[in-house]
């Protein structure tokens, strides 16, 4: 496996994008341009920080996050694939799939306009086949600039049709979850995972008054996280995503998670592009599917 030095010599752009040692010795790409700063770990191909110029951090990262092989990083934007939540037919399978806890292969770093594009790849192997018997290749393209543009490209490299779920599980950093509103889901049918996945219909904006885990169905609308404390709006434009997941563990859920501080639930809400449950993706052999999201920030949360 290539060392951090090798990767930096091959892909690094001095003063712009460099492969460096991150938490617990893990390799990460650090982007620093006039437009934005970002950090992306090879572990899970996970974006853990994005700060457009003159704004505060957009993504939440827990102070208790684990940076270990086989463990998920709590915060940022984990990639969930090829299933979401627990695997229904295999309770002992890792939550949210097999790719968020493995090291991806860095395949490129390039300049593009005001941003930097970082690409990663991973593919099926013996470890993934233990839980998911299909052959696949996944490419992840992150463009970090004034906008954060994410593309997950999945290719069926096997000889049979594959079905999978996917999500870009975005932790939006907020001033106080109890004061946040999520716009773009009014009138949408959703399944309430805190109420036995009962089908309900959203009325007006989403607000957080208790533990929340909703899967909004057949929706392609832009999401807007309205944060009156940080005086900003975080927008997510989805591509080829027909479901939206909204989540916050609240007090009870936070206490049950070893890698999340008891009070950190106030500091984030998740609202993300996904294709899950009945909207899972089916790919024939040789076919490719691309799901994406573009994050942008409007508001006055300006650094001094």
Q: What is the pLDDT of residues 226-236, one digit of tens each?
A: 999 999 999 99
pLDDT for 75-118, tens place per residue? 999 999 999 999 988 889 999 999 999 999 999 999 999 899 99
Any domain includes 286: yes
The answer, yes or no, to whether residue 301 has pLDDT greater than 60, is no
CA–CA distance, 122 with 101 (Å, rounded to integer): 12
Q: Which residues contact residue 271 at a Cβ distance below 8 angstroms, ignoring those fewer than 6 apart?
A: 170, 172, 182, 206, 223, 225, 236, 244, 245, 246
Residue 250, domain CATH: 2.70.98.10
Any domain includes 178: yes
Any domain includes 267: yes
Any domain includes 199: yes
Mean pLDDT of 266-292: 98
Any domain includes 160: yes
Distance from CA of residue 122 to its chain's centroid?
16
pLDDT for 165-207, tens place per residue? 999 999 999 999 999 999 999 999 999 999 999 999 999 999 9
**What is the pLDDT of the chain when averaged over all its residues?**
96
CA–CA distance, 135 with 89 (Å, rounded to integer): 19
pLDDT for 127-173, tens place per residue? 999 999 999 999 999 999 999 999 999 999 999 999 999 999 999 99
pLDDT above 70 covers what percent of the chain?
Answer: 98
CA–CA distance, 135 with 202 (Å, rounded to integer): 37
Buried b / exposed e along 246-258 (16+ C-beta atoms within 10 A):
bbbbbeebbeeee
Q: Give residue 1's pLDDT.
A: 61
CA–CA distance, 43 with 27 (Å, rounded to integer): 8
pLDDT for 237-273, tens place per residue? 999 999 999 999 999 999 999 999 999 999 999 999 9
Any domain includes 107: yes
What total of structural domains would you count in the chain? 1
What global pTM score does this model have?
Answer: 0.96
Where in the sequence is the domain holding 107, given as residue range(s)? 4-299
**Is 298 within 8 Å of 231 (Cβ atoms)?**
no
Q: How far apart are the first and last CA of the chain?
A: 42
Q: How many residues does this entry show for the chain?
A: 304
pLDDT for 26-83, tens place per residue? 999 999 999 999 999 999 999 999 999 989 999 999 999 999 988 999 999 999 999 9
Any domain includes 304: no
Q: Give residue 54's pLDDT.
A: 85
Question: What's the 3-state SS for the chain?
Answer: CCCHHHHHHHHCECCCEEEEECHHHCEEEEEECCCEEEEEECECCEEEEEEECCECCCECECCCCCCCCCCCCCECECEEECCCCCCCCCCCCCCCECCCCCECEEEEEEEECCEEEEEEEEECCHHHHCCCCCCEEEEEEEEECCCEEEEEEEEECCCCCEEECEEECCEEECCCHHHCEEECCCCCEEEEHHHCCEEEECCCCEECCCCEEEEEECCCCCEEEEECCCCEEEEEEEECCCEEEEEECHHHHHHCCCCCCCCHHHHEEEEEEEECHHHCEEECCCCEEEEEEEEEEEECCECC
- 302 pLDDT band, cuts 50/70/90, is very low
- 274 pLDDT band, cuts 50/70/90, is very high
Q: Give residue 106's pLDDT.
A: 98
- Provide the annotated active-site residues: 169, 272
The answer, yes or no, to whether residue 303 has pLDDT greater than 70, is no
Q: Give residue 2's pLDDT.
A: 80
CA–CA distance, 30 with 44 (Å, rounded to integer): 15
CA–CA distance, 211 with 141 (Å, rounded to integer): 32
Any domain includes 64: yes
Q: Give residue 300's pLDDT.
A: 60
């Amino acid at each position: 496996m290539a060392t951090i030095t090798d990767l930096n010599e091959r892909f690094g752009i001095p003063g712009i994008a460099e492969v460096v040692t991150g938490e617990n010795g893990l390799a990460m790409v650090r982007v620093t341009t006039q437009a934005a700063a970002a950090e992306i770990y090879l572990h899970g191909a996970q974006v853990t920080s994005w700060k457009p110029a003159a704004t505060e951090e957009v993504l939440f990262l827990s102070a208790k996050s684990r940076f270990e092989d086989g463990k998920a990083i709590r915060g940022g934007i984990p990639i969930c694939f090829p299933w979401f939540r627990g695997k229904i037919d295999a309770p002992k399978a890792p939550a949210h799939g097999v790719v968020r806890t493995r090291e991806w292969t860095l395949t490129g770093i390039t300049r593009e306009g005001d941003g930097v594009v970082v690409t990663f790849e991973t593919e099926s192997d013996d470890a993934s086949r233990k839980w998911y018997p299909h052959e696949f290749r996944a490419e992840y393209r992150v463009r970090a600039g004034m906008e954060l543009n994410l593309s997950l490209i999945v290719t069926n490299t096997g000889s049979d049709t594959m079905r999978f779920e996917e999500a870009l599980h975005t932790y939006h950093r907020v001033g106080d979850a109890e004061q946040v509103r999520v716009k773009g889901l009014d009138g949408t049918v959703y399944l309430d995972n805190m109420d036995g996945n009962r089908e309900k219909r959203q009325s007006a904006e989403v607000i957080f008054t208790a533990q929340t885990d909703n899967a909004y169905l057949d929706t392609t609308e832009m999401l807007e996280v309205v944060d009156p404390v940080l005086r900003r709006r975080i927008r997510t434009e989805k591509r080829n995503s027909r479901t939206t997941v909204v989540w916050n563990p609240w007090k009870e859920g936070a206490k049950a998670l070893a890698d999340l501080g008891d009070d950190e639930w106030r500091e984030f809400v998740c609202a993300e592009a996904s294709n899950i449950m009945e909207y899972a993706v089916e790919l024939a052999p040789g076919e490719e599917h691309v799901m994406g999201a573009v994050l942008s920030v409007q508001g006055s949360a300006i650094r001094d």
